[in-house]
Chains A and B, each alone.
Chain A
């Protein structure tokens, strides 16, 4: 079966600390993968998308970066977190019916 895993579910990090969020997909090959951020009470903003290993497109300038070291693995990173990086981060896998989403990571930067 096709599934998408995202972890951790919640994270509290101090300003200036690094970040690594991981997303993996099972049951498919060469998926299109996406990272979205959802600020409180707002819609989803596309941060990065990837159509293959090592291929990353950035949608908005920001303090974050993404990498795709393996076909089914997508990583969101930061070297130094800012307060404004707080939010709900969703990984998504593009399918014929839009997206299948991971369960999300709620990041609070303190």
Chain B
């Protein structure tokens, strides 16, 4: 149990385009989902926290108009990188918390590698 998937696993796009990344909890209902960004050989930086049916809470320094987060259901959250630029190239990872299994443990998706040309 406690499986989180992400799609796509890799994406290459041109500068100026928008990219949507999906995060799904496959076998549990995720009351809260988190989006992280990770640069090579560095730690995970929390970008935002999203609760189902409400607006996401962004961390300081993260542009909410640049990184649009939607958490429309208890099993799906999406991150859209709008007007992507090369500096947005990174590894994006989502995680999910589910009430039924363990409200405190976050289960992570496999990540999405974004390359903006």
Pair from one complex: no
Contacts from B to A (Cβ < 8 Å): none
Contacts from A to B (Cβ < 8 Å): none
